[in-house]
Structure formats: structure tokens, C-alpha cells
Amino acid sequence: MSAEKKSIYPDKPELQFENKRKFTNKREPLVDRENRKTVGQPTVENPRMSCLNVNVYYGDKQAIHDVTLDIGRNEVIAMIGPSGCGKSTFLRCLNRMNDTIDFCRLTGTILLDGKNIYDKDVDVVPLRAQVGMVFQKPNPFPKSIYENVAYGPKIHGLVQNRAETDEIVETSLRKAGLWEEVKDRLNQPGTSLSGGQQQRLCIARTIAVGPEVILMDEPCSALDPIATARIEDLIDELRENFSIAIVTHSMQQASRVSQRTAYFHLGDLIEVGSTDQVFLNPLHQLTEDYVTGRFG
Amino acid sequence: MDANMNPTMLLFTILLLSVMGFIMGRKRSYAVANQVGGMSNLHSRPTYYGSLTALWCAIPTLIIFSFWLLFESRIITDLVIATLPDQLQNLPADRLNLIVNDIRNMVNGNIVSSEPNPSMLAAAEHYRKLNSLSHASLTVIVIAVAIGAILVIQKTIHPKLRARNHVEQVIKYILIACSTIAIFTTIGIVLSVLYEAIRFFRIVPLSEFLTGLEWSPQMAIRADQVGSSGSFGVIPVFMGTMLISAIAMCVSVPIGLMSAIYLSEYANRTFRSVAKPLLEILAGIPTVVYGFFAALTVAPMIRNSGGVLGLDVSSESALAAGLVMGIMIIPFVSSLSDDVINAVPQSLRDGAYALGATQSETIRHVVIPAALPGIVGSVLLAVSRAIGETMIVVMAAGMSANLTLNPLKTVTTVTVQIVALLVGDQEFDSPKTLAAFALGLMLFVVTLILNVIALVVVRKYREQYE
């Protein structure tokens, strides 16, 4: 068999594929694509959360292999990688959302401010107030806009009376950049908003309980470019007060909003580094293939 | 061929001819295709040419066949009556009816009620002749039409004949016909009930029926009979239905809803796969079984325990019937509610969990409100089931129409009264019997309204999440 892969466009030289099995000698350090050890710098100084040797299993299948990664303070860390690479699974481990799946099992340590969140004495209820989450599809509750935001503070007992609730609803909606658009119709159902507004409502709802970390699982994948731009601006503003971990399929989005980027591949954390470095000067061949669009 | 086929044989022949038509049509299409150079020149696949032939053979003949059988007996009877002697023809309608029945019995070789006289024997002979003539001509016509249809279609089969479009068109009309049968049956039932109810309302005014506080339908049938004049106030009967349905809903809604919540939110897959079918078996128990369970087990139990507490419980109490009916409709509530709770998107639950809500908070504040329209729909369907339920109340609730809200007393329901009014020898023009139709109409209207509300509510829910 020929070592050279035949192109499907033999007459177009710019579309000829090089044989990816060969190592390129372009830069140092050279990394074997079969080598799945994380390259780059997974740890930061004074992290908000730090994950050590995390393995996740769905039944017999291992979904995450030995991931070590820190989430710093006041930073946005983007997690990228092809579908099924475990980035969403990893994100959901950070606030123990995977607890709701019976056959999901985790080993390793995830520290939040130095405390292992998988310790026996940790209650998921306050944990999830500290580590909030925004989902791929906007999922406002079947309640009014006001109630959607007030719900979290109410169940956590953060508010005592109507005035406090009003205040927390207004601040959260302002922080989420939604206040001006909805202040006259707080009693309308949350589902009456547009997709982008619903997603900002979900962000406001998450902010309202005063988390330290916000996890975002492809928050813009159901939105149009204009709504996406608004959410991205918002993420940048929120960085001042929160640590944000965002999973995204859009590499442009990752490069626009994040300071650090982690590249996952088939359950392995392949490369972590500053976003500029990962996109402009990746260390690992797999990362380079992905960010340059050779697959994924 | 035996010209005097009986209808079953004839039906079988039609079927056979259609199959033959199918085979011949298919063969013919191959033949015409080969003439013009291969199958690719044929408009439709050969099966469609076969089906077209078979349909044109079967449908007209079946229509002729069914109309013939529908009107045959009446036409022959009229013809026979016309030949009867004048003194018989001039008898009143009911007597004449008897004689015609006798003639028919003679024809069929059954026992006749009166001594046969020569004119009746002649009539019977005439009847027999006409009957066999009719069957013979039906056979000839049907077979002729079938064969004619096959031959005509054979002639028309041509590579350009759009057989597939024709067949699909015909099948569409057959489907339309089937669905209209269901609709027309419903309309027919409504109209017949409405007609009888209007006859009742001519005797007892609608206002008296709807506002009367006393129900005692016993009335004198003959002029010389001693009896009450009858009063037809529907309120006590309707109150009985409402009371028993309310008790049933008090049992079934909490139990059904909570089991639905457990099954859909807490139970693991194994338990759910066992428990859900078991719960649905409750819906499969015949209501008459529930009926004697209510009458023989539950009612005495309630009376005895009431006696211990010093309460006066009648042996047929609304409570017994309502409790058992409640058990019966648990699966309606639980199964439908379980479905709508499962239909609540997982993303909503995730959203609540991610805010730090506990499982019970998530269920109470997010899942149930989201599923509420569907749950309301299932409860309304259960209510209309409870209102229309007959067997349990017939056996356990009693007959006397007390206007009471005390569940320990005996009450009666609309369905029980309908059964009571129509069972036994009745005259179909006395208000007593006609009252059953008025009650039936009222029941129909109430359950129809409930069903419409339930459907609207359920539909609104669907629009929200799909």
C-alpha cells in the first residue's frame, strides 16, 4: 500500500493532504501523536479549582483519562475538542452534575478553594450554589422572568423579604445585561423571551445565587451570531467577579473569550496553555491538527 | 354454476374473482410492457395494474351486494303483503306484523304461532320463490359486473395508464370512508338519544328536569293503576354522581399522582419496568369485578368500622362505591401523569439541580409546574371516566335518590338510574323510560365538555415543549 494518501482532488495542489502519520519537524518539543500525556502548563498559581488525576467512567467505559487541570481566579478557560472527547463530561464533574447519572463513577480529586468536593461530608446543594452552570440550550423554568431569577436565592435562603429579592433580581439581571430589556415585563413567562435573552436569563439566574465559578456548556450553540456576540461580551465582563469554564465547539469563540485553553481528545487532556499559545503555536500535533481545521 | 348461491358463497366468489383480476391485471401489464420494449416503459409497477383490476372488480360488486341485502327483505315483504287477501291486508299494523312474522317463520321452517291457513301458506310459498329469484339475480348481476370490470380494465391496461395514482386515489377514498363510519356512528348515537330526549322534554319540561329536587320515576302505566305521578328532578341523581366521583377523585388523584412522581423521578429502571405494567393491570380488571369487590368487601367493612365509631352507615354507601371507583381510576391518573412528567425536558431538571435545588425542590417547583397542564388533562379524563362508570355504582351505590352530601348515606347516580329505567318490561312511550334518554344526553354533554377541556389543556401543553 502506498504511504502517500491519495487526494480526492488530484488536480488541486492546495487541497493535497500530507500524510499525517509522519512527524513534522517544524517545532520543538516534538510530540508523538500517540502520546496522550498532557503537554503545556495545566496548573496555575493560586487556583480557584484544581483537578488532580480525574478519571470518569460511564459503566465500564472510561470517558476521562487521568486529567489534571486548574481553573484560575478571574479567568475564562475554554475547553475545546472534537465531539465525544469528554469536555462536557469533565465540566459536569466540576459541580457534581454527573451525580444524577446512576452509572457514572469518578476517581481522583477536585478541589474547590482547597476542599475536595467529592469528600463524603460535602453536600451538593451548597456546592452547586458555589459552582453554577449554564447549559447548551436555554432552559428557563416555566415561571415568570422575576421568579426565574429569584428562585435560586429563595431556595438557598439568601433573601428574607420582597425588597431584598427585588434587589438581587435587578442586580443579577443588570450583570447579565438583560435588565433594560425586561424591566417592564418581569411577570411574563421566561419562555416568552428570545433565545439569546433566555440564555442571558439563565446566566442571571446562575449569578443570583452568588457563585464563585460558572460553568458554561456550549452556551451559544443554539444562538444566532448577534446573540452570541452579546453573550461573549457578557462573559468577558463576568470575568471580573467569577472564574468561568466554558466548553465550546467554536474555536473562534474560544480564542475571543478565553485566557487559557484546554484541548481534549478522546477523553485525554492533550494540551493546556494560554489561548494565544494554543491557537498560534500549539505544542502537540493533535492540537495543531484540530485548531488548524484538519479534523474535528 | 349453481345460480342460487347463498350470500356467503357469493362473497367468497367475489373475493376469488378479485384475486383472479389481480393476477390477470399483473400478467397483462407484463405483456403490454414487453410489446413496447421492457418494464421501464411501464408507468407503474405491475402490482399496481393488478391491484387496479382487483379493486375495480371488488368495490362495485361489494356495493351492489350490500345494498341488495339491505333492501331485499323489505321489498320482498312488501311484495308478499300485496298478494295477501284483502281482509288480512286491512288488519292494523301490529297484527299484520305478526302475520308477516309467521310467514317468515314458515319460510325458514320454524315453529309458527298460529294455525296456518291456506292464504298464509300460499304467501309463504310466494315469499320463498321471490327470495330464491332475488338471490339468483343477485348472483348473476354480481358475477357479470365482476367479470365485466376485469375485462374492461384488461382492455385499458396500457403502458401510459397511471395505475399507481389511480390505486392510491382509491385507497385514499377507502380510508376516508372508514373514518366517516366512526363519525357517522357517533352522530347517529347522539341524534337517536337527542330524539328520544326531546320526546321526554315534551312531557316533562326541561326546566323542571334540570331544577327539580326530587327523583322518583315510578308512575302509573295504565289508567286504572294506583301509583305516583312520577317526578323527574335530576338534581339528586346528579348530586349522587358528583359525590361519588368526588370521592373517587379524592382517592385516585393523590395516589395516582404520587405514584407517577415516584415512578418517573425516583424509581430505578428495574422497579419502574415492573411496577408500571402492574399498575396498569388495575385498568384491565373488569369493572364488574370491582363492583362485587365494592359490594361484598368494602361496603360491609365500612359499615362495620362505622358501627364501631358509632356512625350510622348504610349498607350501600357512596363512600364504598367512591373508594373502589377511585382505586379503579388510579392507573388513568398515574399512567398519563407519568408520561407527561417524563416528557418534561431533562434540561429543566438540570437547570434546577445546577442552582443547587434538591431533588424534591426540583420536582415541586420545576417539574410539576411544567407538567401541570398535562396532569390536569389526565385528571379531567379520569373524572369523565368516573362520571360515566356504571357497574361499580350499580352494585355498590344503591337505588334511592337521596339529595345528600353525606358519603355514608346511600345515593344513586345517573348511570344507575339509566340502567334501572331500562331494565325489565317497559313501555317506550312513557316518560319513565324516556327519562333514561334525557339522563343519557345529560351525561353525554357533561363528559363531552370535560373531554374537550382535557384535550385543549393537553394540546396547549404539547405546543409548549415540542
Please report residues of B whose CB lies closer than 8 A to that of A95: 354
* Predicted interface score ipTM higher than 0.95: no
Radius of gyration of chain B measured on its C-alpha atoms: 32
Chain A CA closest to residue B348: A139
Nearest-CB residue to A156 (from B350, B356, B366): B356
Q: Which helix (H) or strand (E) holds B207?
A: helix B206-211
- Cβ–Cβ contact A202 with B under 8 A: yes
Nearest-CB residue to B354 (from A128, A140, A156): A128
- Cβ–Cβ contact B268 with A under 8 A: yes
- Cβ–Cβ contact A132 with B under 8 A: yes
Nearest-CB residue to A133 (from B268, B354, B370): B354
pLDDT band (50, 70, 90) for residue A22: very low
Average pLDDT of A178-196? 90
Please report residues of A whose CB lies closer than 8 A to that of B345: 139
- Nine cell digits for residue B421: 329505567
Q: What's the rounded Cα separation, in Å, for the pair A195 and A198?
A: 5
Per-residue pLDDT tens over the stretch B278-291? 888 888 888 889 98
- Cβ–Cβ contact A205 with B under 8 A: yes
Nearest-CB residue to A128 (from B348, B353, B370): B353
Per-residue pLDDT tens over the stretch A39-68? 888 888 889 999 999 999 998 888 998 899
pLDDT, position A28: 40
Contact A132 B348 (CB under 8 A): no
Please report residues of B whose CB lies closer than 8 A to that of A125: 356-358
Nearest-CB residue to B348 (from A128, A141, A205): A141
Please report residues of B whose CB lies closer than 8 A to that of A155: 355-358, 361, 365
Average pLDDT of B244-268? 92
pLDDT, position A32: 54
Q: What's the rounded Cα separation, in Å, for the pair A12 and A183?
A: 57
pLDDT, position B281: 85
Q: How far is B326 from chain A (nearest CA, A)?
A: 31
Q: What is the DSSP string of B50-110?
A: HHHHHHHHHHHHHHHHHHHHHHHHHHHHHHHHHHS-HHHHTS-HHHHHHHHHHHHHHHHT-
Contact B353 A206 (CB under 8 A): no
- Nine cell digits for residue B297: 368487601
Per-residue pLDDT tens over the stretch A254-289? 999 999 999 998 888 999 999 999 999 888 888 888
A163 pLDDT more than 70: yes
- Provide the domain count of chain A: 1
Per-residue pLDDT tens over the stretch B206-240? 888 888 888 877 765 555 665 556 778 888 888 88
pLDDT band (50, 70, 90) for residue B113: low
Contact B356 A206 (CB under 8 A): no
pLDDT, position A29: 42
pLDDT band (50, 70, 90) for residue A16: very low
Q: How far is A89 from chain B (nearest CA, A)?
A: 14
Q: What is the CATH number of the domain that holds A107?
A: 3.40.50.300
Nearest-CB residue to A139 (from B268, B351, B369): B351
Give the three-state DSSP class for A112.
strand
Average pLDDT of B85-109? 78
pLDDT, position A21: 45
- Do B313 and B302 meet the contact criterion of CB atoms below 8 Å apart? yes
Q: How far is A210 from chain B (nearest CA, A)?
A: 10
**A155, A156, A247: best to mutate for the B interface, most B CBs within 10 A:** A155
- Do A200 and A138 meet the contact criterion of CB atoms below 8 Å apart? no
pLDDT band (50, 70, 90) for residue B318: confident
Whole-number Cα distances in Å, A75 to A40, A49, A179, B205, B235: 17, 12, 25, 81, 73
Please report residues of A whose CB lies closer than 8 A to that of B268: 102
Domain that holds residue A69: 40-291
pLDDT, position B3: 45
Q: What CATH code would you report for B231-465?
A: 1.10.3720.10
pLDDT band (50, 70, 90) for residue B37: confident
Q: What's the rounded Cα separation, in Å, for the pair A145 and B25?
A: 67
Phi (first) and psi of residue B241, to 5 degrees: -60, -45
Q: How far is A50 from chain B (nearest CA, A)?
A: 20
- Cβ–Cβ contact B355 with A under 8 A: yes
Please report residues of A whose CB lies closer than 8 A to that of B356: 124-129, 152, 155-156, 209
- Cβ–Cβ contact A125 with B under 8 A: yes
Q: In this structure, is residue A9 part of a structural domain?
A: no
Per-residue pLDDT tens over the stretch B143-170? 999 999 999 988 888 888 888 999 999 9
Nearest-CB residue to A142 (from B350, B355, B370): B370
B18 pLDDT more than 70: yes
Whole-number Cα distances in Å, B220 to B227, B230, B432: 5, 8, 10
> Domain map of chain B by residue range?
7-161, 231-465
Q: In this structure, is residue A7 part of a structural domain?
A: no
B270 pLDDT more than 60: yes
pLDDT, position B2: 42
A14 pLDDT more than 90: no
- Cβ–Cβ contact A45 with B under 8 A: no
A126 pLDDT more than 70: yes
Per-residue pLDDT tens over the stretch B413-446? 888 888 888 887 666 677 788 888 899 999 999 8
Q: What's the rounded Cα separation, in Å, for the pair A247 and A78?
A: 6
pLDDT, position B119: 78
Q: Which helix (H) or strand (E) holds A95?
A: none
Of chain B residues 375-434, which have a CB less than 8 A from chain A?
none
Q: What's the rounded Cα separation, in Å, for the pair A16 and A24?
A: 16
Q: In this structure, is residue A31 part of a structural domain?
A: no
B116 pLDDT more than 80: no
Report H helices in B309-413: 318-343, 346-354, 359-362, 368-388, 391-396
- Cβ–Cβ contact A103 with B under 8 A: no
- Cβ–Cβ contact A117 with B under 8 A: no
Contact B348 A191 (CB under 8 A): no
pLDDT band (50, 70, 90) for residue A182: very high
pLDDT band (50, 70, 90) for residue A226: confident
Per-chain mean pLDDT for chain A: 85
Q: What percent of chain B has pLDDT over 70?
A: 93
Q: Angle at the Cα of B256 (from B254 to B261), degrees rounded to 5?
A: 90
**B264, B265, B355, B363: best to mutate for the A interface, most A CBs within 10 A:** B355
Contact A97 B355 (CB under 8 A): no
Q: How far is B255 from chain A (nearest CA, A)?
A: 25
pLDDT, position A185: 92
Q: How far is A222 from chain B (nearest CA, A)?
A: 14
Average pLDDT of B364-371? 89
Q: In this structure, is residue A178 part of a structural domain?
A: yes
Contact A97 B361 (CB under 8 A): no
Please report residues of B whose CB lies closer than 8 A to that of A139: 345, 347-348, 350-351
- Cβ–Cβ contact A282 with B under 8 A: no
Please report residues of B whose CB lies closer than 8 A to that of A134: 354
Q: Which helix (H) or strand (E) holds A74?
A: none
